[in-house]
Every structure is written in C-alpha cells, then in structure tokens.
C-alpha cells in the first residue's frame, strides 16, 4: 500500500471540495473561460476566484493560457466531471436515507 499515492489523490479531492470550484468546473465543461467570466459566474471577489483557480491549477485539473490581457482556464482532465454524477448519486441516497428516518 503506497501511502503517498493516497495523499496525492486526496489533494485532488481537496481541490474539488468547494462549491465555487465545482461551479467553475461545470462551466469549463463546455468551453474555456476567462477569469472575468468565472468571477461573474460565482459572484465572489475577483481575488477569491483567482485563488480558487490557482488551487485547481496546482491540482492539475485545469490549465491556463493568456489571450491579450485576459487569462483563460481550460479543463485539463474531464474525468473529474464523472465525479459530479457520483456525488449526485451519493447525495440522492443520503436524501432517501434521511427521508426514511422521518
């Protein structure tokens, strides 16, 4: 059992563990987006969004490239989108379990 690989995978999960970052990844599913558009999308401070994006970039999930004075982010590993479906499944099962208790 290689502990280090678990730690690295946990870092990827950590990068996904924020509402704003998931919103941005969902938007990047279709097309590359500039920071300005993503900022408007999540509705937080521009500096906050920039930090979220650097977290995704450091995790290896997105990459960036400049176009003029704007920076566009690109979804580098679309497989993370599979997680969205699984997370939905988890949430739905949890909801059912909660309701059965009531």
Give the count of alpha carbons within 13 A of 28, CB side only: 30
What's the closest the beta carbon of residue 7 comes to DNA, in angstroms?
A: 10
CA nearest to 68, candidates 32, 31, 29, 34? 34
Candidate segments 23-31, 36-44, 75-83, 87-95, binder of DNA by CB under 7 A = 36-44
Residue number with CB closer to a second copy (15 or 35): 15
- When CB distances are held under 5 to 8 angstroms depending on the partner's kind, the choice from a second copy, DNA, none that residue 28 binds is none
Residue number with CB closer to a second copy (36 or 90): 90
- When CB distances are held under 5 to 8 angstroms depending on the partner's kind, the choice from DNA, a second copy, none that residue 47 binds is DNA
What's the closest the beta carbon of residue 4 comes to a second copy, in angstroms?
A: 9
Please tell me whether residue 74 binds DNA under the rule CB under 7 A.
no
Q: Which residues pair with 73 in a beta bridge?
A: 33, 64
Query: What is the C-alpha to C-alpha distance for residues 73 and 62, in angstroms, rounded to an integer?
Result: 6
What are the helix (H) ranges across 17-79?
Answer: 19-28, 35-42, 46-59
């Amino acid at each position: 059992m290689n502990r280090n690989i678990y730690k690295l995978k946990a870092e990827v999960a950590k990068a996904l563990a924020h509402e704003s970052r998931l919103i941005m990844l969902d938007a990047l599913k279709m097309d590359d987006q500039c920071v300005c558009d993503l900022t408007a999308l999540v509705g937080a401070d521009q500096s906050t969004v920039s930090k979220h994006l650097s977290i995704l970039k450091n995790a290896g999930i997105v990459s960036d490239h400049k176009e003029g004075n704007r920076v566009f982010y690109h979804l580098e590993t679309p497989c993370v989108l599979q997680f969205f479906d699984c997370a939905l499944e988890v949430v739905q099962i949890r909801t059912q379990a909660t309701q059965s208790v009531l």
